[in-house]
Amino acid sequence: MRSVLAVAAVLLTCASPRAADLTSAPPPASSDGPTFSFTGYGWASAIDGRGSTLPPLPPTDLNLSFGDILKDMNGALMGSAEISIENWSFLADAMLSQVTPGGSLPGPYFSSAEVRSRTLTLQGGVLYRIHADETFDLDVGAGLRFWDLDNKLKISPGSLNREIDYRQSENWLDPVLAARMTARLGGPWSVTVAGDIGGFDLASRLTWQAVGTVNYEWNKNWEFRTGYRALYVDYRKDDFLYDTTMHGPIFAAAYRF
């Protein structure tokens, strides 16, 4: 039972579409003034790795599909924003999700168990355009990615008439180096490839992200994107372990003005 709860806590925390501001729609290569864009997106993420986010429960191997995660998800909120001024872009991203797996327990002493797992990820960054022409744009820069994991285990009483309520939270801040390239395919179509790498053992041992999307510019204001994202993090502190890779299709709609 303890290993099941550990798996649930870790996997379901990771279930959130945790990622970064790289889902923002980049501005066109030329602009008469500041460009603003707001993006809403969803990430159908699976998760693989190893974690223990409710110590002293032992670390558990993780291998969950998005369908497994979706069964216990209570909701998620994701969005990003970007402001571009000449060659500079300033980005922000926020993601919040909560999952609550639970079930009955064998034996007469306790009746049921529930794990509430809430995840918040915030990212901010600055990119500078080092190349722009009719074919592609290339931006490089840096930023910070903040993680906050809040897990709660509740075991309801049975014949023992005793309730167990245990909570564990952990947060950290990772510096990252980032790059983004957008290639125009002709007409309304383009491709964006972006990524970052960081941690550098300052908080996480290592974290990286890679995103690739195909983009369709519906009109001068709206752009739709679909692609694939992978996000890895390896964070350890005492008995707390979060060594996971989240990966899956991503879908986004961006409004630009």
Report the CATH architecture of 2-96+121-145+177-256: Beta Barrel (2.40)
Mean pLDDT, residues 18-38: 62
CA 160 to CA 146: how far, in whole Å?
A: 41
Lowest mean pLDDT among 52-61, 85-94, 117-126, 241-250: 52-61
Sequence-distant (6+) residues with CB within 8 A of 183 are 135, 136, 190, 191, 192, 193
Mean pLDDT, residues 161-178: 87
Tell me the one-letter amino acid at 237.
Answer: K
The number of C-alpha atoms within 13 Å of 94 and in the hemisphere containing its C-beta is 4
Lowest mean pLDDT among 20-24, 40-44, 74-78, 135-139: 20-24
Instruction: Specify the pLDDT at position 7.
Output: 38
Given a cut of 80, is residue 72 above it in pLDDT? Answer: yes
Mean pLDDT, residues 128-154: 94
Under the banding of pLDDT at 50, 70 and 90, the label for residue 245 is: very high
Mean pLDDT, residues 225-230: 97
Of 70 and 8, more confident:
70
Of 173 and 167, more confident:
173
Instruction: Specify the pLDDT at position 134.
Output: 93
Of the candidates 57, 63, 75, 56, the residue with the CA atom closest to the CA atom of residue 11: 63
Given a cut of 60, is residue 130 above it in pLDDT? Answer: yes
Mean pLDDT, residues 96-103: 78
Of the candidates 230, 249, 168, 242, the residue with the CA atom closest to the CA atom of residue 11: 242
Instruction: Specify the pLDDT at position 168.
Output: 86
The pair of three-digit structure tokens given for residue 11, joined into one six-digit string: 């996997």
Q: How do the domains of the chain map onto residue ranges? A: 2-96+121-145+177-256
CB 243 within 8 A of CB 231: no
Give the 3-state DSSP-derived string for the chain, with helices as H, strands as E and coil as C.
CHHHHHHHHHHHHHCCCCCCHHHCCCCCCCCCCCEEEEEEEEECCEEEEEEECCCCCCCEEEEECHHHHHCCEEEEEEEEEEEEECCEEEEEEEEEEEECCEEECCCCCEEEEEEEEEEEEEEEEEEEEEEECCCEEEEEEEEEEEEEEEEEEEEEECCCCCCEEEEEEEEEEEEEEEEEEEEEEECCEEEEEEEEEECCCCCCCEEEEEEEEEEEECCCCEEEEEEEEEEEEEEEECCEEEEEEEEEEEEEEEEEC
Under the banding of pLDDT at 50, 70 and 90, the label for residue 223 is: very high
CB 124 within 8 A of CB 92: yes
Distance from chain centroid for Cα 144: 13
